[in-house]
Structure 1
Amino acid sequence: MIRKRPASVERFTDLKTLYAEAIATPEFQTVFGDPMPLSIIEPGDEPGEHDMPEPIAAQAECGGIVAAIFDLFTGTRLEPFAPEIAWGIVNSFHFAAGKIERREDAIAQELGDLARRPDLSEVYSNELEEKQLACRSLAEQRDAIECMRDYAAEMYRALSGWPWSPAKGSRASSVSIASQIAVQDFLRERQLVARERHLPQGPIVIFSGPAQWENWQPVWDRLDQIKARLPHMTLVTTGQRKGADAIAAAWAARPGNGVPLVAYGLYGAGKKVAFNRNRKLVELKPVEALLCEGSGLQANLYQLLRKASVPIHAFRKGEAEIPAGALRRPGAVQSLACAA
């Protein structure tokens, strides 16, 4: 971790600025700084006044765990493995948050069952209050773990150069700005509208490109331009962990960007899976699309998007953006299908 040299205090008014730099970010203050008066740590425990870790300590230690791996391995023969181990550290927070969420959902279901068969007895009232407190306690614990996961993920991105994403499932936190959402969750919640933190609300922009792609700057510039027009956009990629999709994911994960990212990977088996995925991408009714020259999948997606009258920004490998007029000429679609 890069640590700044403490600034000197030249006048009394500097203390306010220095104090602001020393305290935790608003996300950690929200989750760790104002805990519930009573909470239940483990199932079956009696309610008690249990403290939360201090916000600044939670933030510092969480980031320090990830940074320590890079500090230890950098410049040694173990350096190539630092991102893999750091990824696992972030994933451990994600795994723990998932376990807590499943317990929380189970108790919430029990609460619903109790509410549907009311009872005027004292035993019923006590059970209802205890389960409600247990559910709220789990939600508080999950928020804390997710907050640490998101901060550790940001530290991973800063040190490795690539955004962290889970091996499976969704990453969506009520206390973080960016979210990465697995497509199965996205489609299910888009239909049910059951949990708002898993449901991107903004206009959809489709992104697709090959697994081998290095020219990131033009892509980022064009995404910046699109976001300037669509500040509440949701970016949907084809879910590859490297190449063009990883470049787009890194753009969405930049601090302050606040762009939800839907990783629309391949699900199922068979030769038609990828082409069915392209069709489903178009069914999301995107308002714009950005394609990088790659395989026949990009050419097929281009054809479907154009048929749906979706504005397309296209880039050739190693070159500038393809002019809009060129995309309308015969053979333009084939140019997108050049091997990566």
Structure 2
Amino acid sequence: MATAIRASVDRFADLPTLYAQMTATPEFRAAFGEPLTVSIVEPGDEPGEHQMPEPFAAQAECGGVIATIFDLFAGTRLEPLTADIAWGIVNSFHFVAGKLERQEDAIAKEVGKLARNPDVSEVYTKELEEKQLLCQSVAEQREAIECMRDYAAEMYRAQSGWPWSPARGTRASSASSASQIAAIDFLRARKLATREKHMPEGPIVVVTGPSQWHDWKLIWDRLDAIKVRVPHMTLVTTGQRRGVDQIAAAWAARPENRIPVVVYGLYGSGRKTAFTRNRKILELAPVEAVLCEGSGIQANLYQLLRQAGIPIHAFRKADQSTDEVAMALSRRRRVH
């Protein structure tokens, strides 16, 4: 078998044929396997026949670049930087996908404007057809980049143990394992009901706590118990990239869970911003909440939820496993 493979890749030109014989996931086959017959690579270009990367090649190289960073830095003085570098690689896919989505929306508006003002001229017909093809081409590019982003994010989670989430904005695509949704986008989509993928359905469970929290098993076990009662939940966190919020996001990202996560961060400024957010979270009508002892902000949310009669699973700092705390302190001493 090894001899056959070596013979197959004697020349770089043989790589597409080899990749085509391998199997990619359904997401990559959908995004890369059936490209448009004719497409426009960049605005202003003439339509033409342009190839897409082979589905398996796209998947293998996308995952490989994340795994390579972790392998390269492992056991070296650069190891503490691994997660940040890998996070940036995933975020680059997210940045480009967002740029393409905005471009796609702008072109779609132009198509709509042309369609609402019909003209029988040949120039009008040609312009409308080219705009529509350009919109389809950009949509195809966006879907491919989103697919690569989501796979790279899953590789990041598998390697680092934490789910990837964007610095700001929305990550919500059909291939996403645990939709990370910015609260402003979530509420806007809920109000307008225009895009179903930005409207996770199901009862809301709130999870929040301090950025310093080590006992992940305590939280995971409680979320497992809640999921038995509320299997189609939507998880709401306060968007911190450490501690309780990230422990909950990591639980949601597990393949057996795949729970959508609404990241309800702080928007605006001022001393009362966090307390205003607490009231907004209450307006989402959660069915249960997991709160870990932290600052006065968590205490205020506890009071609001309790007054509303919402079941609360409250944990104090003293509830953490002593083994978990000891391990965390040991890791901290080794770093320093």
Report the TM-score when normalising by structure 1. 0.85
Contact 1:143–1:175 (8 Å) recurs in 2:
no
Contact 1:39–1:48 (8 Å) recurs in 2:
yes
2:114 is aligned to 114
Alignment of 1:176-215 (within 5 A): 176-215=176-215
1:239-298 superposed Cα distances (whole Å, 9 cap, x missing partner):
111010110111111124221111111111111111111000000111111111112111
More displaced stretch, 193-202 vs 64-73? 193-202
1:218-251 superposed Cα distances (whole Å, 9 cap, x missing partner):
2111112222222221101011110101101111
2:136 is aligned to 136
1:319 is aligned to 319
> Separation in 1 of the partners of 2:122 and 2:226?
59
1:145-189 superposed Cα distances (whole Å, 9 cap, x missing partner):
011001111111111111111111111112223210111111111
1:11 is aligned to none
Deviation at 1:122, TM superposition (A): 2.2
Contact 2:177–2:253 (8 Å) recurs in 1:
no
More displaced stretch, 308-317 vs 156-165? 308-317
> Separation in 1 of the partners of 2:301 and 2:234?
18
1:226 is aligned to 226
2:257 is aligned to 257
Report the TM-score when normalising by structure 2. 0.86
1:237 is aligned to 237
> Separation in 1 of the partners of 2:294 and 2:250?
19
2:15 is aligned to none
1:169 is aligned to 169
2:299 is aligned to 299
1:35-72 superposed Cα distances (whole Å, 9 cap, x missing partner):
12221111111222211111111011001101111111
**Gapped runs of 5+ residues in structure 1?**
1-5, 7-18, 322-340
Contact 2:97–2:145 (8 Å) recurs in 1:
yes
1:151 is aligned to 151
Contact 2:240–2:265 (8 Å) recurs in 1:
yes
> Separation in 2 of the partners of 1:200 and 1:80?
35
Contact 1:100–1:138 (8 Å) recurs in 2:
yes
2:105 is aligned to 105
> Separation in 2 of the partners of 1:42 and 1:160?
36
3-state SS of paired residue (1:290): strand
> Separation in 1 of the partners of 2:59 and 2:202?
30
Using the aligned pairs only, state the percent identity.
72
2:71 is aligned to 71
Extract structure 1 runs of 4+ deviating beyond 4 A: none
> Separation in 1 of the partners of 2:190 and 2:215?
33
Q: Say which structure is richer in helix.
A: 2
Residue 253 of structure 1 aligns with an amino acid whose one-letter code is A
3-state SS of paired residue (1:61): helix
Residue 205 of structure 2 aligns with an amino acid whose one-letter code is V
Contact 1:215–1:318 (8 Å) recurs in 2:
no
**Gapped runs of 5+ residues in structure 2?**
3-18, 322-336
1:276 is aligned to 276
3-state SS of paired residue (1:276): helix
> Separation in 1 of the partners of 2:318 and 2:163?
23
Deviation at 1:84, TM superposition (A): 0.9
> Separation in 2 of the partners of 1:227 and 1:122?
59
> Separation in 2 of the partners of 1:211 and 1:104?
38
Deviation at 1:318, TM superposition (A): 4.1
Alignment of 1:16-35 (within 5 A): 23-35=23-35
Measured on the aligned residues, the alpha-carbon RMSD in Å equals: 1.8
